[in-house]
Amino acid sequence: MRNTLCLLLAFSLAASVQAADQPAAVRIAVFDFKADWHTDYRLEITHSGQVFSALMAQDLSVLKPLVVVGRDANGDNLAGEQTVGEERITPAAAKALGDSLHAAALVTGQLFRSTTQLIIAAKVVLTATGQTSGTLVQGNPSTSLADLTARLSAQIANLILYQPGSAPLQWKPASIVGSGGPDSPGEDGGVTYVAAIDGKPVVEREKRWKEPLALLPGTHEIIIGEAGSKTGFAYPLAFRAYPGARYQVHYNPGGGEPPAVAQAIPIYHPSKIWIQDLIAGTPVPVLVVGERESSRSIEPIGLGYNGSLGGGSLSGSSGGPFFPGSTGNASTGAPSSGGRSK
Amino acid sequence: MNEDDLDRMLREAVVPEQPKSYWDKFPGEVVLRLSSEGNGHRRRRFWPLAAAGFATAGAGLLLGFALWHRNGLRGPDAAELRDGRVLQALETEFPGRLQAIIMDARGVRPQLSALSDVSESDPIWLEIREGKERRVVVTFSGQVIRCGGRDVVVLADHDGQVMLLGPGFLWSPQASAGKAEGLQIKAEQLTDRRNDPAKRNAL
C-alpha cells in the first residue's frame, strides 16, 4: 500500500513539475476522503478513503492550472489528522490551513456505496475567503470508478476555478489507439491494441485497433493486448491521461526490458510494452498493475466498478487489484530500438 | 430571713446596668423585629395574590397556545423567510454571524456564530420533514445544521445543486445514502434578494 502511494505520488510530482511552470497555477490540497466500508488486506488496501484521495489528487493534477500540494513522499497528507470534512470551517481557519499548505483550495469528501450505487461527494473550501461548496457524482455497477473520479475532478476544478458569469470549464478528452499491423516493422507483424479500459472490454478490440478510444482526463487502467502471435498476451497498466492528449499503445517483442518493468512482466515471455504520447513524442509513465493474462480471457480489473463490492476491495472487481502495492511498478516505458513506435 | 435582713439586702442591691453597646443596638433591634413581623404579615398575604397571578398567567399561556395553533407559527411566516426580509433584518442585526434561520413548531430563531466569521454566499432554502416534525431552514453553503439527529454540512455548487453531508449521511435531490434515507427534504438555492427590492417583489 505504501509502495503504491509512493508510485501514485511519483505521478503527481511529475504533473506538478509540469504545471508549476504555468504562471496561473492554482495550488490545492486534497485531504483524505472518508469511506464507510472496510479494508481488503489481501490487496493491502488498508484505508479506502486514503487510496481514493490519492487517486483524486492524481486526476485533479492533470487539470491545468491546478497543482496538487500538501503530500509528502509517502503520499500522506502533510496536514496530518486535520480534517475539513464534516465540520464547519471558519474563514480564519481556512486561511491558516491554506497558508500552511500554500494552497488556494482544500478538497475532501466522502464515499458511499451499496450494492446498486456508488456516490462520491466532495467538499471544496477556498482558503482566501472560506467560501465552501460541494458537488457529487453517482455511479451504478456499469460505471467505472475511473470515470466517476474523472468526472468528479472536473466538477471540483470548476468549483475552484469558477468565475461569475463565465461558462463552466471543460477539458478535452484524451484518446488512445493501437499500433502495428501487417506493415509494422515488428518481428511478428502482430497488432497491439487496447483490450479493455477500466475493466470494460473493448468491443471487437482486435479488428478495430485503429479507432481511437476516448478517455476522460485522469487515471485509467487499460489492458494492452497483442494479436498475431500464437500465444497472445494482455497486460494491465495504469497511466494518467491528460486533456486533449493522444496516446498509442506499443509492443516490441524483441526489445529489452525496461528495468522497472522487468520485475512485473514474466520472464518467460520477454516483451516490452509502452504507451506513447503522440503529441509530445515521448513515452508516458505507466504503472504495471497486474500480471500477464491471456488475451483470450480478459478479466475486468482495477478501476472498473461492477457493483460487487462485498469483498471489500475498492473496485470490487472479480479478481483484479486496485493498484496493488506488492506488484505495482512505475516505468517510463522507454522504447528501445526495434520498437514499433511511429 | 427577717424583716431587717430583707430591708438591708434591698438597700444594698444594685440596679442591673446594660453595657453601652446594648443600648446602642437596642433601637435597631426593635426596628428590625418590627420590620420582620411586618414582613411576615405581608408574606402571608402574598399567597392569595400569587395564586391569582399564576392563574392569570396560566390563562394567558393557554390563550396564547390556542391562538398559536389556530393561526399557525408565530412571528415571520415562510414567505417572509423566503423573500429575504427576515434574512436581511437578521444579517443587519448580527453582521457576519448569521449561520441559519430555523422555523419550526417553536417559532423562528436565528442560529448565530459566536464570532463574525460567516462567509458570504447565496442563501439556501431547506424544508425538512422528520416524522411529524417540519422545519424550514434558511442557511448558506458551508454551514452546519441539525438533520436526522446529527450535524450535517450544507453544500451547494454554482449551479444551485444542494446537498447535505455528514458522517454516514448524504442527501441530495439526485441521491441519498446512509441515515438520510427516509427523510423528506426539499432544497433550493435562493438567489440573493436581500438587497434587491425589484427581485424581492418579483417573487
pTM over 0.90: no
Instruction: Identify the pLDDT of residue A327.
Output: 27
Residue A279 has pLDDT above 90, yes or no: yes
Mean pLDDT of A141-147: 85
3-state secondary structure of A206: coil
Quick check: B84 pLDDT over 70? yes
Task: State whether B177 and A112 contact (CB < 8 Å).
Answer: yes
Q: Kindly report, residue by residue over B149-182, the tens digit of the pLDDT.
A: 889 999 999 888 999 998 888 999 988 887 777 7
From A317's Cα to the closest Cα of chain B, the distance in A is 22
B99 vs A contacts (CB less than 8 Å): 88
Among the partner-chain residues A92, A123, A125, the one whose CB lies closest to the CB of B117 is: A92
pLDDT the model gives residue A71: 66
**Contact across the interface for A159 and B143, Cβ inside 8 Å:** no
The answer to whether residue A156 scores a pLDDT higher than 60 is yes
Write the single-letter amino acid at A13. L
Contacts of B143 in chain A (CB under 8 A): 88
Please say if the pLDDT value at position A144 is more than 90: no
Output the nine-digit C-alpha cell for A73.
Answer: 513522499
- Report the residue of B162, B163, B171, B176 to disrupt the A interface, i.e. the one with the largest count of A CBs within 10 Å: B163
Provide mean pLDDT across the span A235-259. 78
Is A112 close to B121, i.e. CB distance below 8 A?
Answer: no
Question: A88 and B144 in contact by Cβ < 8 A?
Answer: yes
A119, A134, A155 member nearest B155 (Cβ): A134
Query: Is any Cβ of chain A less than 8 angstroms from the Cβ of B153?
Result: yes
Question: What span, in angstroms and rounded, lies between the C-alpha atoms of A90 and B108?
Answer: 25
Tell me the chain A residues in contact with residue B174 when contact means C-beta distances shorter than 8 Å: 136, 138
Please name the member of B115, B119, B178 whose beta carbon is closest to the beta carbon of A112.
B178
pLDDT in tens, A179-218: 886 555 454 567 888 988 988 888 877 788 889 999 999 9
Q: Indicate yes or no: CB of B121 within 8 angstroms of CB of A158.
A: no
Q: How far is B128 from chain A (nearest CA, A)?
A: 20
CA distance B186 to chain A (A): 17
Greater confidence (A150 vs A270) lies with A150
User: A120: buried, middle or exposed (CB in 10 Å: 19+, 13-18, 0-12)?
Assistant: buried
- Please indicate whether, in this complex, the C-beta atoms of B143 and A130 are within 8 angstroms of each other: no
Question: Is the complex ipTM more than 0.90?
Answer: no
A336 pLDDT band (50/70/90 cuts)?
very low
Closest Cα of chain A to B76: distance in Å?
27
The pLDDT value recorded for residue A118 is: 87
Q: How many CB atoms lie within 10 A of CB A231?
A: 10
CB within 8 Å: B119 and A130:
yes
- The pLDDT of residue A311 is 29
* pLDDT tens readout for residues A73-129: 555 665 544 555 567 788 888 898 889 888 999 998 988 887 788 899 999 999 999
- Give the model's pLDDT for residue B73: 44
B172: its cell numbers:
441530495
The pLDDT assigned to A167 comes to: 87
Interface contact A123-B155, CB threshold 8 A? yes
Q: What is the mean pLDDT of chain A?
A: 70
Say if the Cβ atoms of B163 and A88 lie within 8 Å: no
Is residue B43's pLDDT more than 50? no
- With cell 420582620, the residue in question is B36
Query: Which positions ≥6 away from B100 have C-beta within 8 Å?
Result: B110, B111, B137, B138, B139, B140, B143, B145
Of the candidates A110, A131, A159, which has its C-beta nearest B165's C-beta?
A110
Residue type, A140: N
Q: What is the dihedral of CA A64, A69, A72, A75, to 10 degrees?
A: -50
Over residues A37-88, the pLDDT tens digits come to: 654 444 444 567 777 888 888 899 999 899 998 766 555 665 544 555 567 7
B111 touches chain A (CB under 8 A): no
Cα(B178)–Cα(B172) distance, integer angstroms: 12
Distance from CA of B168 to the nearest CA of A (A): 7
How close, in Å, is residue A37 to chain B by CA atoms?
11
Higher pLDDT, A45 or A224: A224
Average pLDDT over residues A224-242: 76
Sorted by sequence, the CB contacts under 8 Å of residue A142 that are 6+ apart come out as: A306, A307
Tell the residue number behind the cell numbers 472496510, with chain if given.
Answer: A38
Chain centroid offset of residue B61 CA: 16
The per-residue pLDDT for range B101-152, each reduced to its tens digit, is 999 888 889 999 988 888 888 899 999 998 888 899 999 999 999 988 889 9
Reported as a single tens digit per residue, the pLDDT across B2-41 is 778 878 877 777 766 777 777 677 666 655 665 555 444 4
Asked if A130's CB is within 8 angstroms of B156's CB, the reply is no
Contact A132 B178 (CB under 8 A): no
Cα A142 to Cα A203: distance, rounded to the nearest angstrom: 15
pLDDT confidence tier of residue A266, bands split at 50, 70 and 90 = very low
**pLDDT score at B26:** 65
Q: How high is the pLDDT of residue A13?
A: 41
- In the block, which residue shows the cell 506513447? A276
Mean pLDDT of A130-158: 91
Contact A218, A58 (CB under 8 A): yes
Yes or no: say if A180 and A228 are a contact pair by the CB < 8 Å rule. yes
Termini Cα distance of chain B: 113
* Average pLDDT rounded to a whole number, residues B54-63: 60
pLDDT of residue A297: 47
